[in-house]
Structure 1
Amino acid sequence: MPNTDTVFRPRTECGLAWLLHPHQPREFLETIWGKSPFVVQRAERSFFEGIPNIATVDELIATTAGGAACRFIRYDTDGQQSPSERHGSSTQSTMADVYDAYADGYTIVVNAVEERSARVASICRALEAETDQRTGANYYLTPPGAQGFPAHADTHDVIVAQIDGCKRWRVSASRPDNVQPGELGTPDSLASAFEWHLEPGDILYIPAGFVHEAFTVEDASLHLTFGFSAVTLADLLLEAVQQLVERSGPLRTTVLQPGELRTALPDSVVATVTKLLRTLGTEQMDSAREHLASALLQRSTPVTGRLVDLDRARRLTPTTSLTHATWGPSTIRSAGPAAVLEFCGGVVEFDSERLPWLHFVADNEAFTLSDIPGPNDETKAEFIRELVRCGFLATG
């Protein structure tokens, strides 16, 4: 097993402590997570300042119009859901279609906001580090007096952050036995329900399987939903089997003969597969777990100023200010003669003799070239340039 050291520094405006304020993350995760809905109404309308709001979200929507990431949804008063195609197909819509749909009462949905906003991405990465669950974010812009979706239950936990305007929510008090995650609610699903009126700065947590619906009244609403995709035992097993396939010759070279797909498999084939599957033990499952954790950590993160940083890195001096380019945990591990740094958005490898320098830059969020132990020679400068090039460091 490689020697691994993970550095994690929470930031004040990214993770659960910030999102749940004034409540404590530990209590939330131990007593609320996965068990019951939870609301924070803090009367701080500027709490989500810095996140694209209803006055500035047009530009972000424009990056998705004409693609599958932008949808128009309307749940009519007669109980029917109007298709988005009424205002152009998902691959042909323009901003004019977006504005027409909104004026006609449609909710504008923008998926994968974390791939388009550095601020939202930093929040998602912080939530991923604290929950070990892949976290995405979607915008929902709803005009006054409208509802986008009928009552339904999601397949995953969500945290709703009210950015602008107001929205009314109804959430079942318990997880209904007759509605499965991913299904529409039944007429009695919300017979016993919590009712909340979210205003800017508020958040609402809804566990998977709880039926809910939301609608606006007099005001438009813009909310950001953070969705959490948990790693399942099936994910772990599939990764372990994939690694088994990659290192096992018989699984890759033994081929089924013509006609064997339509008849019972030969005993020899079944015996080979069974024997190899029995090799999956603690070491193999740990390897699969580490690979899934690395894949989650290395997900790409949008940043700003990267091109400027690359130019500045060509002109490094001993007093050049350096900071971490993205937020999140970083993992340093030794792998034979190599020292590997994994961080939010990527991975980079150096000779093992660079381990002290790697630990220094991971442990210190802001520093200069001369602060790094050792002489200020070209070797150190090249080390820093590589960290800027791969996206771990930014120049001040």
Structure 2
Amino acid sequence: MQIADFDVDLFLRDHWQKRPLLIRNPWKEWRNPLDPDELAGLACEEGVESRLITRDAGRLAAESGPLAETRFGELDSNPWTLLVQAVDHHAPEVAELVEPFRFVPDWRIDDVMVSYATDGGGVGPHYDQYDVFLVQGLGKRRWRVGPRCDSATPLLPHDDLRLIADFEATGDWILEPGDILYVPPCFAHEGVAVSDDCMTYSIGFRAPSRAELIESWCEHQADGLPDEDRYTDPDLTLQANPGEIATSAIDRLHEMVMEALSDRDAFARWFGLYNSLPKYAETDWRPEEAIGQQAVRALLAESVPLSRNPASRFSFIRQKEETLLLFVDGHCFDCAGDTALLAERLCAGSTIMDPALAASAPAAVLIAALIDQGSLAFDDED
């Protein structure tokens, strides 16, 4: 599935994180990848993040999943919306929707949220802190987009939803199946279904905040420091006023902190681990039994396809002398030679079928480790 006649360079120059863009059905052949009943089924499962938004007397209410199977039969004629997060982790056809948008680096990709709404359903005017491509799957949805917002933008009082108080649209479109609307971070927007069986696929991207980076990096570095690494002042001299914190002390204290945080190589390794952590760390994708290097080499020799888990996060950072660090689901693998080439291939595509890999023991060891942690699997129908 590819976006036809889409100029990526032009989009990145003129629209990415700058202004919204409407793309009328650019697919060679659009097919809705998920049935509404399948989405409802996911919302009933433990471990799947979902919300049901209902409207009564003009007021929106939200309830979190997992939902009881009987809940949908209890809904009345008032508009409602079902939101299910990370559907790409559970539905391969939905995971394929990410591929056309991989002109944005993988480490920025979050997940694919899917919404289903009845006529008039929506979640109200709001803004998000991330980029999103809204792909209309079924039915029609009216999208209105407004100006940029920030933490000072007035919000309506609501316990569960962050709704903009004074929403004024500057763009207004009705999306039909296959249409795409790109919305940059912090732009106000509101989507309202204008038909029953309205499904929208939200390919969302993530960007760590400065506060998150500082907090997590500092905590990581602090955890590795010995308790005896403390402030010292062997050159202490008598001060005129004992209540003063001297400039020399501030300089030394500041240097202690900055020195501990300024190691770029350590930061790169930490960030690769931090950024590749699974979205839902509590979900266990590991196989029941370890596979072993011999079984890996045999399956590779038979050209059995090897596929990434759609829920897994793969990325790498180049090092010196043709080596790299491979990060997968919060684990780091130092790679060189065959494993470095394999790591690049794993990060570039979702499936590998190469019997030549069977000849490389280091590659088999790496593949076995990734299979055992649930990040890779052979597509062996037997």
Measured in 1, the distance between the counterparts of 2:300 and 2:207 equals 44
Query: Judging changes above 3 Å, is the alpha-carbon distance between structure 1 residues 381 and 358 closer, same or farther for their aligned structure 2 residues?
Result: closer
1:155-198 Cα deviation digits (max 9, x unpaired):
333221111111111112x32687369953344x32x5211111
Q: What's 2:188 paired with?
A: 211
Tell me if structure 2 keeps the 8 A contact 1:171–1:195.
Answer: yes
- 1:222 is aligned, of 180, 199, 202, to 199
Tell me if structure 1 keeps the 8 A contact 2:138–2:177.
Answer: yes
Aligned length: 348
Report the TM-score, using the length of structure 1 for normalisation: 0.68
Measured in 1, the distance between the counterparts of 2:300 and 2:88 equals 35
1:168 aligns with 2:142: yes
Measured in 1, the distance between the counterparts of 2:289 and 2:352 equals 18
- 2:117 is aligned, of 142, 161, 172, to 142
| Partner AA of 1:195 in structure 2 | D
Residue 56 of structure 1: CA displacement? 3.5
Measured in 1, the distance between the counterparts of 2:271 and 2:181 equals 29
1:223-269 Cα deviation digits (max 9, x unpaired):
12223221233333334322431332248889xxxxxxxxx999999
Tell me if structure 2 keeps the 8 A contact 1:313–1:395.
Answer: no
- 2:108 is aligned, of 126, 133, 137, to 133
Residue 348 of structure 1: CA displacement? 6.5
Query: Judging changes above 3 Å, is the alpha-carbon distance between structure 1 residues 211 and 201 closer, same or farther for their aligned structure 2 residues?
Result: same
Measured in 2, the distance between the counterparts of 1:314 and 1:276 equals 48
Unpaired segments ≥5 residues, structure 1: 1-12, 85-89, 255-263
Q: What's 1:356 paired with?
A: 337
Tell me if structure 2 keeps the 8 A contact 1:343–1:392.
Answer: no
The secondary structure found in structure 2 opposite 1:130 is coil
Query: Judging changes above 3 Å, is the alpha-carbon distance between structure 1 residues 292 and 209 closer, same or farther for their aligned structure 2 residues?
Result: same
Measured in 2, the distance between the counterparts of 1:265 and 1:48 equals 71
| Partner AA of 1:52 in structure 2 | L
Percent identity between the aligned chains? 19
- 2:270 is aligned, of 279, 285, 291, to 291
Report the TM-score, using the length of structure 2 for normalisation: 0.71
Q: What's 2:6 paired with?
A: 23
Residue 358 of structure 1: CA displacement? 1.4
Tell me if structure 2 keeps the 8 A contact 1:112–1:137.
Answer: yes
The secondary structure found in structure 1 opposite 2:255 is helix
Unpaired segments ≥5 residues, structure 2: 156-160, 232-242, 346-350
Q: What's 1:72 paired with?
A: 52
| Partner AA of 2:267 in structure 1 | A
1:116 aligns with 2:81: no
Query: Judging changes above 3 Å, is the alpha-carbon distance between structure 1 residues 46 and 141 closer, same or farther for their aligned structure 2 residues?
Result: farther
Q: How does 1:128-277 map to 2 (within 5 A)?
A: 130-131=104-105, 132-144=107-119, 146-172=120-146, 174-175=147-148, 179=153, 183-187=162-166, 189-190=167-168, 192-250=169-227, 273-277=253-257
- 1:35 is aligned, of 10, 18, 43, to 18
Tell me if structure 2 keeps the 8 A contact 1:75–1:149.
Answer: no
Measured in 2, the distance between the counterparts of 1:69 and 1:382 equals 34
Query: Judging changes above 3 Å, is the alpha-carbon distance between structure 1 residues 313 and 265 closer, same or farther for their aligned structure 2 residues?
Result: farther
1:394 aligns with 2:378: yes
Residue 271 of structure 1: CA displacement? 7.6
Measured in 2, the distance between the counterparts of 1:252 and 1:112 equals 43
The secondary structure found in structure 1 opposite 2:36 is coil
Measured in 2, the distance between the counterparts of 1:275 and 1:315 equals 51
Looking at secondary structure, tell me which structure has more helix per residue: 1
Query: Judging changes above 3 Å, is the alpha-carbon distance between structure 1 residues 204 and 379 closer, same or farther for their aligned structure 2 residues?
Result: closer
RMSD: 4.5
Query: Judging changes above 3 Å, is the alpha-carbon distance between structure 1 residues 25 and 291 closer, same or farther for their aligned structure 2 residues?
Result: farther
Measured in 1, the distance between the counterparts of 2:255 and 2:223 equals 16
Measured in 2, the distance between the counterparts of 1:120 and 1:265 equals 63
1:107 aligns with 2:81: yes
The secondary structure found in structure 2 opposite 1:136 is strand
Q: What's 1:8 paired with?
A: none
